Amino acid sequence: MRAIKQYFSTIPARDRVEVYGFLATLLDSGMNLQNACGLVAGTLENEAADRLLGKGQLKKSAKLYRYVEEQLRLGQPLHSALSGRVPDTEAMMLMAGDQGSLKDGLEAAARSAGSASDMRNTFIKGLLYPVGMFLLLLVSMNWIGNNLLPTLTSLIDLEDWTPNQQALYWATRNIATWLPIVVFVLSVISGLIMLINRFVIGKPREFIHGIPPLNVIRQVTAATLLTTLSSLIMAGETMRGALERMATATTSRYLEHYIELAMNNIRLGRASKGPGRAIASKLFTPWIVVKLELYSRGDAGEFAQKMADIAADARQNAIKTIMGFSKLLGTLMLLIVAGVIGFTVITMYSITASLQAGAGM
């Protein structure tokens, strides 16, 4: 039992998309959820018995479906069976589906998991470029410090180098000394950003939320709010109920501030002019706000579908912002690498010119 819980609690978002989508398809075909889980578990167990490669993964998946089948047989709803094994937002969508259409709840959870997977992959890709450039910087400096500069010191004593040239020599020869300091400084900066993200909200935050990397947090938060809200409504929840669930589940004070702002707008009656007017705020870009206000027509279901489309736009904005910030960091690292190599070349020419001048005398 513990192994099954641990497995699903760490299951990747992309795999959750497959689980939700598969169950929704089986429900759409008219199958009972409990019977569907049992059928999938049995099929996976048979496949695992005939496989040599990938058997372990198939067995884990089979245990998951078998566990869900057992919980459903005991009378547990799906969201309770998966509680603690999926994110709270997805569990809320399944709960809303249990109260309405479970198929809609599964599809909403699949959209949410897919969005989480896309954002996670974007973060990873965004980090790879600047990290790769930083590693290139370290490799370049290490090679220069251990292969090139020692040769130059044999030609001209280090004491006769200019201060900048001596600084280059020290930096390339003492990477193990300054690298931990750089890591510590970056950790302090990261901690400061986390503190700002947690405690600076409202108008003070809106004054600075265009500054990197706070602009990344803003776009990701906006996409999360719209994606989760639209998915909950499409799963059968009311807008007010969806916002209340999100306010209870979120651990982000930044997101919570805008959820409470939307709930307050609903209490003030601003949703009477369209639900989009209630949730529109400075968290979103001007174009997202325009779309929320223009598409605030029709019933809640129609608006939820339109909001899902707007959420897709918000996710694209978030992805562009993440990649833009990554490109900025990567370009900075590239300039530093080019600067180190360029200054090394200048140092070589300077020392060579000094030797030639000395020989001419």
Model pLDDT for residues 170-189, shown as the tens digit of each residue: 998 999 999 999 999 999 99
**Model confidence at 206: pLDDT above 90:** yes
**Which pair of structure tokens corresponds to residue 54?**
């990938």
Other CB atoms within a 10 A radius of the CB of residue 304 amount to 23
CB-CB contact of 44 with 13 (8 Å): no
Name the domain count of the chain. Answer: 2
Q: Give the alpha-carbon dihedral of 74, 80, 86, 91, to 10 degrees.
A: 140
CB-CB contact of 288 with 281 (8 Å): no
In a domain, 237, yes or no: yes
In a domain, 97, yes or no: no
In a domain, 171, yes or no: yes
Please tell me the distance from the alpha carbon of residue 132 to that of residue 210, in angstroms, as a whole number.
26
pLDDT at 2: 46
- Shared-domain flag, residues 77 and 147: no
Where does a domain end: 34, 67, 86? 86
In a domain, 107, yes or no: no
- pLDDT 10s digits, 270-328: 877 778 888 999 999 999 999 888 887 666 667 877 888 888 888 888 888 888 888 88
In a domain, 39, yes or no: yes
- Shared-domain flag, residues 136 and 77: no
- Shared-domain flag, residues 231 and 323: yes
Q: What's the domain range around 147?
A: 113-361
- Shared-domain flag, residues 118 and 263: yes
Q: Give the alpha-carbon dihedral of 321, 229, 65, 101, to 10 degrees.
A: -150
Give the pLDDT mean for 325-347.
86
- Shared-domain flag, residues 41 and 143: no
- Shared-domain flag, residues 137 and 223: yes
In a domain, 308, yes or no: yes
CB-CB contact of 300 with 239 (8 Å): yes
In a domain, 317, yes or no: yes
- If you average pLDDT over each of 3-17, 139-153, 172-186, which comes out highest? 172-186
How far is C-alpha 39 from the geometric centre of its chain's CA atoms?
34
User: Please, which residues have CB within 8 angstroms of residue 40's CB and are 6 or more apart in sequence?
Assistant: 22, 26, 62, 65
**Which pair of structure tokens corresponds to residue 354?**
């000094």
- Shared-domain flag, residues 134 and 31: no
In a domain, 108, yes or no: no
- Shared-domain flag, residues 25 and 118: no
**Which pair of structure tokens corresponds to residue 127?**
């980090």
Question: Half-sphere exposure (CA, 13 Å, Cβ side) for 65?
Answer: 23
End-to-end CA distance of the chain: 86
- Shared-domain flag, residues 253 and 127: yes
